[in-house]
Amino acid sequence: MLLKDKVVIITGASKGLGVSMAEVCAAEGAKVVLAARSIEQLKEVENRITTKGGVAYSVQCDVSKLDDLQMLVDKTVAKFGAIHGLVNNAGVNYVKAFLDTTENDWERVIGVDLKGSFFLTQLCAREMVKQTPKGGSIVQIASVHTYASLPGAAPYDAAKHGMVGFSKAVAVELAKEKVRVNVLSPGLCRTEIWNDIVAAAPSEKECIAFWNANIPAERLIEPEEIANATVFLLSDLSTSLTGSNIIADLGMTSQLISKEPYGSKVIDGDR
């Protein structure tokens, strides 16, 4: 078991990638603390984990509120006595033209995706440096948007780039304290976001064909694949990694353009 008895907080554990992370971490022996705004949804995840013999504890928490973050950390320490891992996974997506973006839009996206992860990193790191033995692993869930962008994503991209920036600073500052901080940047995953994308397309078939042209592996990432990469970063298998931004996108950002359409398989430039 890669995370035996490690106490790991996972935000946004009520839906999507966070649920899978919670289930896989618990299966690897972690005591998982599930955080999100809906306690009902968290309890469902908690019940599924405990039914399989895992250890899970739900805390209702809005990550954009500093009092909630402090309460999440206090409850975790009171319940389990230490914090060994944190996954800042809670996030809101955003698609709206830059020219129409308002201060409210900015504050909502930055509040959850950047401010929440920044201050929860700080609160957990304070525990990690003072507990015995000291140290821990913090994983920020950013996005392929930290490598390249799409129209309508300015606040989201600002937040996700910000996660990379502050994580490098904290990684450098706390390396000697044995606190590691890494970013995991997923490509397109099969969560509710995929349903939203399909709903906006003329047809599901057309939508799949488009994305297959833009993803070399020609498929979506399953939530469990991101959960497995998260376990690696939380575990002692990754002790040489801190300050990294690992891209998990099935090749999407390595591909220069969508698939070449004219069939020019061999071009002989020696004329």
Q: Which residues are catalytic?
A: 156
Single out the residue of 16, 54, 136, 162 in contact with ligand NAD (rule: CB under 6 A).
16
Find the part of the chain contacting ligand NAD (CB under 6 A) among 8-16, 130-138, 209-217, 233-241.
8-16
Single out the residue of 2, 3, 6, 64 in contact with ligand NAD (rule: CB under 6 A).
64
Task: Tell me how far the alpha carbon of residue 166 is from its chain's centroid.
Answer: 15
Going by DSSP bridges, is the β-strand pair 245-248/179-186 parallel, antiparallel, or unpaired? parallel
The residue written with tokens 């009902």 in the block is 40
Residue 117: name the closest of 12, 32, 207, 263 by CA: 12
Residues 162-221 touching ligand NAD, rule: CB under 6 A, are: 186, 188-189, 191-193
DSSP assignment of 106-173 equals: HHHHHIIIIIIHHHHHHHHHHHHHHSSS--EEEEEE--GGGT---TT-HHHHHHHHHHHHHHHHHHHH
What mask of x and - would describe binding to ligand NAD in positions 18 to 57, judged by CB under 6 A? x-----------------xx--------------------
Shortest distance, CB of residue 191 to ligand NAD, whole angstroms? Answer: 3
Shortest distance, CB of residue 72 to ligand NAD, whole angstroms? Answer: 10
Three-class secondary structure of residue 70 per DSSP: helix
Q: How far apart are CA 168 and CA 170, in angstroms?
A: 6
Single out the residue of 143, 167, 235, 244 in contact with ligand NAD (rule: CB under 6 A).
143
Shortest distance, CB of residue 115 to ligand NAD, whole angstroms? Answer: 10
Shortest distance, CB of residue 260 to ligand NAD, whole angstroms? Answer: 25
Q: 184 and 230 in contact (C-beta within 8 Å)?
A: yes
Residues that bind ligand NAD (CB under 6 A): 11-12, 14-18, 36-37, 61-64, 89-92, 112, 141, 143, 186, 188-189, 191-193
